[in-house]
Amino acid sequence: MKVSRANFGTLCDGSKVKIFTVSNGKMSFSATEFGCTITSIKLLNKKGVFDDIVLGYSTLDDYVRSPNLCFGSLVGRFANRIGGGTVKIGKKKYELDKNDNSRNCLHGGFNGYSKMVWKGEPIETKHEAGVRFSRLSPDSEQGFPGNLQITVTYLLDDDNNLKLTYIAKTDKETPVNITNHSYFNLAGKGSAHDHKIQLLCDYNLEKDDYLIPTGKFCKTAGTPYDFRNISELGKSLEKMKPGYDDCYVTNVYDPELKNLNSTVHAEKIVRAAVVKEETSGRTMTVDTNQEGIQFYTANWIEGVIGKNGTVYHSHDGICLETQCFPDSPNKKDFPSCILTPDAEYKAVTIYGFSF
């Protein structure tokens, strides 16, 4: 296991941004201080060839100029959407950026964590290696209350598990929902239509025309949202235009009992998803301690120029973003996403890879 670091580029203010590459000999990943962004995951296929299985860009300048696609980036302070761009905590109402259809707050607003520079440092142990990023998100940043100290750790082990851990502490009550927004393509190129998807989720969240949850939990059985049995993505996309952008309920939460089987402070991990791509022989699993997993099929990347001049098309990748439920601050029946000064936020995602 080893970690190397290099200069990824220089921002317009003259500050240099580092990139870290972590390898265990069978796979590697790279991540940069700009947005805690995972810029590549290189994995062997069944023929012994390495491919990069995440979408993104080749240079720092490309990530800086990118619209709000968040290729591989950390998103927060509140990932996903907050309806109406407002949050009420106690008697106080907080106004947030309305950067989504000019009415909702998406991924923290115009000044997202994906566009901020974090402090990175390597981590190396006998069986794991990775990088730890940290940053203080000051009170009122993005309109949210509280100074939020955040630590983000990406660790690769000998068994090709990439563990993402997010820890945060606050000095005021504040909503917290942090995730990674990687777009995966296990073939390393082309459409993801041939990927086979399993979401180990009996429910998804009903949403309105602006993708805000209504508060209703819907059983997936017998609907186009049913991926409980592994299914070919392309066949499902034929029934769902323009594609999926939906939050599923993991086995961390039981909608019938309306309680958490685990919380963001617990270490209990459940399997939420499995992805297979037969040509390469690659499989990816997603385990988490979060109650939600957002399944997004890259519906809005048509014509984007990515790594090495590759032109991306809609459905060339899939996102599986583990998180609290969208609009949790405004839904009294959803599990609370409010972090208090006497508690610690701890969210965990493990992407496991095999070939």
Residues in the chain: 355
Quickly tell me which residue has 């300048």 as its tokens.
61
| Residues contacting residue 249 through CB under 8 Å, at least 6 positions apart | 201, 202, 203, 204, 205, 217, 255, 291, 292, 325
Active site residues: 181, 321
- Sign for the CA dihedral angle at 324, 252, 320, 136 comes to positive
Q: How far is CA 186 from the centre of its chain?
A: 17
Q: Is 194 exposed, middle or buried (0-12, 13-18, 19+ CB in 10 A)?
A: middle
Q: Among residues 45, 33, 43, 1, which one has the least CA distance to residue 351?
A: 43
